[in-house]
């Protein structure tokens, strides 16, 4: 399908000679979206299969050429926890789709129903060196920048539990459809003695409002699908087997809006937070590294892991 995909610079050049190129040129110049704008070569992708960006198949991508809708399936059993490899694959995949001119939307979901994503892989921050933890955090930042700053319509098809980093992924999308039933979603970081970073807190505030976000973050609340809908943390519920179909229908509605106006509007509202993280990236890495490697936090993480195993 794609032979190879070029980075933003090449797209800028291609768009500048196409009809309407002037507007897009201005758009790219103004918003400089994506984590970096350097010329890059990205890996290839098949129409209905795996993404060749990593040695494992932890992220599966399929794209409908006619509609330009890509489905990105997280595939890291048993619970799609976000380890370093997953973060790199997700970022690479988001950037690849971003730079594919024929792609207009992405649906993010789990290959394994019942768990959308269990959040960060806790083992990646347990008894690891400060340098390792810092590099891990930067991978999360870069993945988030590529999803939150995407020009595409981004839809989370939350077909199962979505705690912590799973909720972070969902919040970075434009719209959230969640499976009905006993599944939970929320930012439960404080339960692990962790503090959500400013950019994650801000997306929660932006989605559910200050009061509810402040409370949810302080107590590390995990909400059922029904409660999440009531709070506005998700936008729609569907039976688990229908989540993907409902997401596809919803995306098609969004795609009736002209891409350019929609994407410029999205960037206008997201640019301040994207810029803030870009500006404070090193400070944010340092905070995470120092907090997470503190002995008292390591003991809390150990206890949390033991609780999980004993479940």
Ligand X SMILES: CC/C=C\CCC/C=C/C(=O)SCCNC(=O)CCNC(=O)[C@H](O)C(C)(C)COP(=O)(O)OP(=O)(O)OC[C@H]1O[C@@H](n2cnc3c(N)ncnc32)[C@H](O)[C@@H]1OP(=O)(O)O
Q: Least CB distance from residue 147 to ligand X, whole Å?
A: 14
Cβ-based nearer residue to ligand X, 211 or 309: 309
Q: Least CB distance from residue 254 to ligand X, whole Å?
A: 27
Residue nearest to ligand X (CB): 119
Count the residues in the chain.
311
Q: Least CB distance from residue 215 to ligand X, whole Å?
A: 18
At how many degrees (to 10) do helices 259-279 and 198-208 cross? 140
Cβ-based nearer residue to ligand X, 104 or 161: 161
Nearest to 116 by CA among 82, 154, 144: 82
* 188, 200, 220, 250: the active-site residue: 188
Which residues are CB-neighbours of 155 under 8 A, at least 6 positions away?
Answer: 105, 106, 107, 108, 173, 174, 175, 176, 177, 247, 250, 251, 254
Is 188 marked active-site?
A: yes
* 149, 165, 166, 186: the active-site residue: 165
Is 192 marked active-site?
A: no
Binding site for ligand X (CB under 6 A): 78-79, 81, 115, 118-123, 161, 163-165, 168, 188-189, 192, 194-197, 200, 288, 291-292, 308-309, 311
Is 249 marked active-site?
A: no
- Across the beta sheet with 59-64, what order do the strands follow? 48-50, 59-64, 69-74, 105-110, 153-158, 175-179, 236-238
SS3 183: coil
Q: Least CB distance from residue 185 to ligand X, whole Å?
A: 10
Neighbours of 20 (CB within 10 A): 9
Cβ-based nearer residue to ligand X, 177 or 192: 192
Cβ-based nearer residue to ligand X, 256 or 311: 311
Task: Supply the residues annotated as catalytic.
Answer: 120, 165, 188-189
């Amino acid at each position: 399908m794609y032979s190879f995909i070029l980075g933003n610079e090449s797209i800028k050049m291609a768009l500048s000679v196409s009809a309407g190129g002037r507007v897009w040129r201005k758009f790219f110049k103004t918003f400089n979206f994506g984590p970096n704008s350097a010329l890059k070569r990205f890996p290839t992708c098949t129409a209905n299969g795996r993404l060749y960006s990593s040695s494992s198949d932890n992220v599966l991508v399929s794209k409908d050429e006619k509609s330009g809708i890509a489905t990105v399936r997280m595939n890291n059993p048993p619970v799609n926890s976000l380890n370093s490899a997953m973060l790199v694959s997700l970022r690479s995949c988001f950037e690849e789709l971003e730079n594919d001119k024929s792609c207009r939307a992405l649906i993010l979901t789990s290959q394994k129903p019942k768990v959308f994503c269990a959040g960060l892989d806790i083992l990646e921050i347990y008894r690891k060196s400060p340098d390792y933890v810092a590099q891990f955090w930067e991978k999360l930042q870069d993945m988030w920048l590529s999803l939150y700053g995407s020009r595409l319509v981004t839809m989370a098809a939350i077909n199962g539990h979505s705690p912590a980093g799973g909720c972070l992924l969902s919040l970075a999308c434009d719209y959230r459809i969640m499976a009905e039933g006993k599944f939970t979603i929320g930012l439960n970081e404080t339960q692990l003695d962790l503090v959500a970073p400013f950019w994650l807190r801000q997306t929660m505030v932006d989605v559910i409002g200050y009061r509810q976000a402040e409370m949810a973050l302080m107590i590390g609340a995990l909400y059922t699908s029904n409660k999440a809908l009531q709070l506005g943390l998700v936008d729609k519920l569907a039976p688990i087997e229908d989540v993907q179909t409902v997401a596809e229908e919803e995306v098609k509605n969004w795609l009736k809006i002209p891409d350019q106006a929609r994407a410029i509007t999205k960037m206008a509202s997201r640019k301040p937070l994207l810029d803030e993280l870009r500006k404070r990236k090193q400070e944010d890495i340092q905070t995470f590294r120092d907090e997470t490697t503190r002995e008292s936090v390591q003991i809390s993480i150990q206890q949390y892991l033991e609780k999980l195993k004993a479940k």
